[in-house]
Amino acid sequence: MPGLLSDALAWLVILTFAVGALSADRNERFARYATVAAWVGFAVFWLQLVPHFAFVHKSYVEGILSLVAVPASLYTGYLLWGGRDSLFVLSRAVAAMGIIYLPFETIPAFTLLGVAVPAPRGVLMEIVAGQTAFLVNALGYHPEMILSDEGFHNTFLFFDGDHRLTVEVVLACTGLGSIAIFAGLIAAVKAPLRRKLRAMAIAVPIIYALNLLRTTFITIAFGKQYMQWFVDEILLLFGSSDPYMVSFFISDRIISQLLAVVVLIGITYLVVRELPELVTIIEDVLFLVTGDEYDLESELGLERPRA
């Protein structure tokens, strides 16, 4: 379950990935040992998250993906141990993703030399909540913004009659996870910095803008209870007894998460057109899933620029 031990495990795994990545050019044997160990640790990390995503967070998409990640991580480590060296690139990507994401997830607020330093996650959540509020207001809805239980100004308050409905912008609602994925992938490949920056300039603005549309959609749909469809069936599907949650389950857990998969595939295609070196990672992922080798550069008609 998420908490201090989960955060410590995440840092341990990511730092092990980083050690493997940094030592690859100096001591390949040590790098292989370290990176395989990191993939085993990654499997353990995803395994302990499955109950949280499936039963607490009530996200079947994330729960299933977490469960699939367990054997996938072990298999990746097995292939790397067996000599599939191209997986070092994917391993570097995971290291970079974690280094970008984990500070926001794990670093709390603290005081340094008398100066209060806010939690990075709180700052990011409040920024996204403020921008979401602008869009919600622009569409003619004016919920009150209140403090969350953690003290962040990131929560919308609606009323359905006398019933309070709150929508909280949490870290998962900021788009940071998807941005970290693409930033990690782009950082991991060997390509000229100019093209890497162009690839980032494609991925990050699109992800951030579409995420704001997503948070706006969910906030309005749940806050105004616009999607109270198939109430009994949805409550049974998500194991809930609160009928007010139906609009949230449909807007977020079903519509938004399924559309996110489609959007990420589209962004991947755009980024790969700019940075064809990424096909190495994609080919490895496809091999993990299907067991077949692919030559995406030829199949997609990609050509690696010189600069």
Strand blocks (E) in the chain? 110-112, 115-117, 144-146, 155-160, 163-168
Predicted confidence at residue 258, as pLDDT, reads 92
Residues pairing with 167 in the sheet: 156
Average pLDDT score over the chain:
92
User: Which of 149, 135, 307, 101 has its CA nearest to residue 211?
Assistant: 135
> What span, in angstroms and rounded, lies between the C-alpha atoms of 67 and 62?
9
Annotation says 273 is catalytic: no
Q: Please, how many CA atoms are within 13 Å of residue 200, restricted to the half-sphere of its CB? A: 15
User: Which of 112, 136, 266, 130 has its CA nearest to residue 213?
Assistant: 136
Question: Active-site residue among 173, 195, 304, 306?
Answer: 173
- pTM: predicted TM-score of the whole model, two decimal places: 0.90
pLDDT reading at 173 higher than 80 = yes
> What span, in angstroms and rounded, lies between the C-alpha atoms of 87 and 95?
12
Question: Hey, what are 29's tokens?
Answer: 């044997």
C-beta of residue 179 within 8 angstroms of C-beta of residue 190: no
C-beta of residue 274 within 8 angstroms of C-beta of residue 198: yes
Question: Active-site residue among 214, 253, 273, 304?
Answer: 214
Give SS3 for 182.
Answer: helix
C-beta of residue 49 within 8 angstroms of C-beta of residue 9: no
User: Mind listing the pLDDT tens digit for each residue in 9-52?
Assistant: 999 999 999 999 999 889 999 999 999 999 999 999 999 988 87
User: Mind listing the pLDDT tens digit for each residue in 58-98?
Assistant: 677 777 888 999 999 999 999 999 999 999 999 999 999 99
User: Which of 99, 102, 77 has its CA nearest to residue 90?
Assistant: 77
> What span, in angstroms and rounded, lies between the C-alpha atoms of 283 and 294?
6
Predicted confidence at residue 294, as pLDDT, reads 82
Annotation says 84 is catalytic: no
> What span, in angstroms and rounded, lies between the C-alpha atoms of 121 and 226?
30
Predicted confidence at residue 291, as pLDDT, reads 84
